[in-house]
Every structure is written in structure tokens, then in C-alpha cells.
Amino acid sequence: MVESAEQEVERPTRERILEAACEQIAAEGIDEVRIARVAMRAGASTALVHHYFSTRDELLAEALMHSFELAGDDRFGPEGEQGEPGSATERLARVIDESMPRPGHQEREWILWVELWLRAVRDPALRPVAARLYARYRDWIAEAIAAGVESGEFEPCDPGELADHAMALFDGLGLRALLGDPAMPLEQAPARIAEVLGPRLGVEPALLVLERD
């Protein structure tokens, strides 16, 4: 019981440090992350940061995982929490929309993704982190597609294969939107993705575009 109580006391401090690291990565880039700066942003000492993370690279890896795990908890909730029960089309529309770099937390996640891509190209030690994140992302998309196939709402397909294609669309068009490409504005990207996925699933593309106020 004592150990469990201690873990509950320590957990918020560790999460605060991870959140501070994520904020610094998003604001200044992954190469500019320093233990001292993270400690200052988190309101902690450098010794306390080192208590939780023995190296800078460990902190970076854990911070990225922390950010995407939190996003995953929000997005990849238990089946049936997204949209109306049994509406696989609504669920997939939400997946597409949540995968775009919309202003706010989604844009920050995209910035962290880009930082991870760049760093992992140069640092093979971070590639397993990227692979784990992509595996969860792929599962999330594949599960949404599989639910529609099983219910008969979508045409039969290989959910994993189509999830790979969807991820390529999300990454490619999402990055263009993030960079402000005038030929691919953010509000246009989901429609372009739906135009590819809709026919594969036997669904009207417009139904895969989430209506926004």
C-alpha cells in the first residue's frame, strides 16, 4: 500500500515533466531540448528530472510517447464511444478529421510527429518509438474500417491494407496542410482523403467528411 501511494504522489510530477518536454519540443524543436530548460518549464529541479529520466534521449522518447498516448486515450476510446452506435461511416469520418493538423492540440501533435520523423532519420534509437506509435495509429484506423466491414456498412476489404493507404494519405496531405501549401488548404484535405477511401468502401465520399460549425 505504501509503494502504491508513493507512486500516486510521484506520477503527477513525472507527467508534468513530460508535458513540459512536449511543449519545448513543439516550441523550439527536438534538438533544442535541454534538461535544464525542461526542469524550469516544469517547475522542477534538474536533479528531479534526472530522478525520472537518466538521459536526455530517454526523456525525449518518453515525452513523445506521453503525448501520443494521451492523444490516443482521447481518440482511441472504447468502441462505441465515437459517433452513433453502429455508425462506422461516422466513426471513420471522425478518424479522418482527428488525423488532420487542426489548430490547437492536433497541430501540436503534428509538430511533434514532424520532429520525431526528422530526429529518427538521424537517430536510429528513436525509430522503435516511431514504429510503436505508427502501430497503434494503424490499429486505430484498421479497427474503424473492420467494424464497418463486419456490420456490412463497408464493402469487403483488408482493413490493415486500407489502413496503410489511409495513413499515407493522412501523412502526405496533412503535412502539406501543416506547411500552408496553398494548393492543399486544411479544410480541403479531408475531402481529398474521402475521395480515395469512399469508393474503396462503397461509401459516398461526402459522408466521410465530418461536418464542422
End position of a domain, from candidates 60, 85, 108: 60
Asked if residue 7 has pLDDT above 50, the reply is no
pLDDT of 5? 42
- For residues 204 and 90, what is the distance between their CA atoms, to the nearest angstrom? 12
Contact 67, 15 (CB under 8 A): no
- For residues 155 and 109, what is the distance between their CA atoms, to the nearest angstrom? 32
pLDDT of 71? 62
pLDDT of 62? 84
Give the count of domains, the chain: 2
135 located within any domain: yes
Q: Do 80 and 52 belong to one domain?
A: no
Helix (H, G, I), strand (E, B) or coil at 74: helix
Asked if residue 203 has pLDDT above 80, the reply is yes
Write down the mean pLDDT value for the chain. 85
Write the pLDDT tens digit of every residue in 23-72.
Answer: 888 888 777 888 999 999 999 999 999 999 988 888 887 887 777 666 65
Residue among 123, 99, 126 nearest 110 (CA):
99
Contact 101, 178 (CB under 8 A): yes
pLDDT of 73? 56
- For residues 49 and 44, what is the distance between their CA atoms, to the nearest angstrom? 7
pTM of the model: 0.77
Mean pLDDT of 142-150: 95
Write the pLDDT tens digit of every residue in 156-168.
Answer: 999 999 999 999 9
pLDDT of 35? 92
- Count of all residues that appear for the chain in the document: 213
93 located within any domain: yes
Q: How far apart are the first and last CA of the chain?
A: 49
Residue among 142, 144, 134, 140 nearest 113 (CA):
134
206 band by pLDDT with thresholds 50, 70 and 90? very high
148 located within any domain: yes
- For residues 125 and 108, what is the distance between their CA atoms, to the nearest angstrom? 23
Range of the domain at 187: 76-213
DSSP code string of 50-62? HHH-SSHHHHHHH
pLDDT of 80? 41
pLDDT of 101? 95
